[in-house]
Structure formats: C-alpha cells, structure tokens
C-alpha cells in the first residue's frame, strides 16, 4: 500500500505514546454534555467517535498480537449471505453495539486496547517493523505503517473531538508530520483507487510550520524518483492544512484560495494529487 521507507521505530513509538496520552486528555476535557453533540464527521456524535476508536483499537491490538480480531469475525458472521465485508459496515455495526455504553466505559476500552497495541508494537523487531506485512482493517500494511496509521487516527479523531467539544486545535509537530508522511507515501495507492495513472511522474511536497518537511514522491507504486531528478509537480504550504486535506477535514479549493496550500510545476497534476490524498482504504 505504501512506499518502502518507514519512519524510525523508536521515534514513532514515542509519538504513539504521546498521542495516546494526548487523546486521553482530550477525552478528559470534553464537557459532559458535549458527548451527544454532532462531531465534524457527518452523521456521528462525539460519543460515536469514541465508540469507533474503542472497536478499532481492540481489533488492531489483536492483529499486532497475531490473534484473530474476534469482533471483526463476529461482524463477518452476522452478514446476510452474499453481503460483502466492508470496513465502513463494520464501523457502523461496532458503534451501534456500543450504543448503551457511556463515554467513561468507552474511553477505558479504548485506553486499554491502545496500551496493549503500543506494548505489542514495542516488542516488534527492527526487521519486522520494516518488512513484515499484516492484514488489517486498513488493508495490507507493513507493521511500521500500521502503527503510523493508528497515530494518524488518534490525532485526527482527537481533533474531531476537540472541534466537537469546542476546544482549540492541538498544533503539535510530531503527529502532524507522521500524518502528512503517511498521506504522501500513500499517494500512488490513492491515485490507483481513483483510477488515475501517471507513470514516470513525481511530486515534491514542501510543508512548513507544524508537520514541516520535504518529500519527493513518485506517483507509481514501488517507483522512487531518481536521485537528483526534478519533480513534475510541486505542493507547498502549511503542514496542518495538508494533514486536514488528507484526512478529508478541509476543502482543497478553500485551502488553495486562502493560500494555505499552493501548487506549482504541472499544476493540474499537483491538484489531482491533492484532491485524491487519503490515509485509509
């Protein structure tokens, strides 16, 4: 799904631990009457986001422990004959079955599973971190990317909860950088999903502020740009805005109009990349 390079294991585990704590604080600061408010995710209340995180973490912790995710299997067995398993279907089913659980119980379920996931991730060898591929709710992922995906989801849903609880954004470099990095490395996959193909082309992404960094990413799966080669397209702007666009929390046209993101070189190609960014199946 992603490119060959993965983020440093020790660094990403540290970011994961910090995000686990930060999301716990966000949950703690949510006003008690805010859990029933609509979240930025259409059709979901704030408490539904928490239920989604709880179910996802239990499943991902099991996957990292090479155990069968029992709740996922239960959902698969519940499907009428002929109905296909979908991640979105599982998510809605898992949220519905937690409808009677209060925010405290949901938060405890998520926190215990997140702790287990990080504990299991810390025992993974450097070789497996780079090379081992596991089947997950997000598709086939290398172990390092699986952990990075969880960091992205903890941060992005934390921002959803903060917005839903009328709390200010949490602008911190490590989780935004990890989110942008994952979205950039997934560009070839994202373009394939959209039915687009740009053989031999590449894009350079230059981000500033929180999440700042520079990437030169090929647009074909498994193809890296030659060292010293010139990108065909450029995307420049604020790291936080890029992360929100990748997470479908911000509109590309608004970010371009406001100057939060800018495109150069082959601008049509750069905009195609921006409009198809994704960090999930």
The label of the residue with tokens 């910090």 reads 18
What ranges in the chain are assigned the alpha helix state H? 9-29, 46-64, 70-78, 87-96, 103-122, 126-131, 143-164, 173-185, 187-193, 239-246, 252-257, 267-275
Domain 181-275: CATH class, spelled out? alpha beta
The pLDDT assigned to 281 comes to 56
pLDDT tens by residue, 243-273:
999 999 999 999 999 999 999 999 999 999 9
pTM for the model stands at 0.92
C-alpha–C-alpha distance, residues 92 and 268, integer Å: 36
- What are the residue boundaries of the structural domains of the chain, listed by start? 9-170, 181-275
pLDDT-based confidence at residue 172 (cuts at 50, 70, 90): very high
Q: How far apart are CA 242 and CA 168, in angstroms?
A: 18
Say if 9-170 and 181-275 have the same CATH topology. Answer: no
Asked: is 9-170 a CATH 1.10.1060.10 domain? The reply is no
pLDDT, the chain, mean: 92
């Amino acid at each position: 799904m992603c490119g060959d390079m993965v983020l440093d294991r020790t660094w990403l585990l540290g970011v994961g631990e910090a995000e686990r704590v930060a999301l716990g604080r966000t949950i703690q600061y949510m006003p008690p009457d805010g859990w029933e408010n609509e979240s930025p995710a259409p059709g979901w209340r704030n408490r539904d986001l928490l239920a989604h995180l709880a179910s996802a973490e239990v499943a991902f912790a099991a996957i990292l422990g090479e155990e069968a995710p029992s709740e996922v299997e239960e959902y698969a067995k519940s499907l009428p004959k002929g109905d296909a398993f979908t991640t979105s279907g599982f998510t809605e089913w898992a949220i519905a079955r937690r409808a009677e659980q209060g925010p405290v119980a949901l938060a405890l379920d998520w926190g215990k599973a997140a702790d287990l996931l990080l504990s299991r991730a810390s025992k993974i060898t450097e070789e497996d971190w780079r090379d081992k591929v596991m089947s997950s709710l997000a598709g086939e992922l290398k172990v390092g990317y699986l952990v990075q995906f969880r960091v992205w989801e903890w941060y992005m849903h934390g921002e959803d909860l903060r917005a839903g609880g009328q709390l200010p954004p949490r602008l911190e470099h490590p989780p935004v950088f990890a989110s942008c990095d994952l979205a950039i490395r997934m560009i070839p996959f994202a373009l394939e999903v959209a039915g687009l193909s740009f053989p031999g082309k590449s894009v350079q992404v230059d981000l500033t502020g929180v999440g700042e960094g520079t990437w030169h990413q090929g647009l074909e799966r498994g193809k890296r740009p030659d060292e010293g080669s010139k990108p065909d397209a450029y995307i420049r702007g604020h790291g936080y805005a890029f992360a929100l666009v990748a997470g479908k929390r911000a509109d590309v046209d608004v970010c371009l109009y406001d100057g939060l993101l800018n495109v150069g070189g082959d601008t049509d190609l750069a905009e195609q990349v921006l409009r198809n960014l994704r960090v999930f199946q």
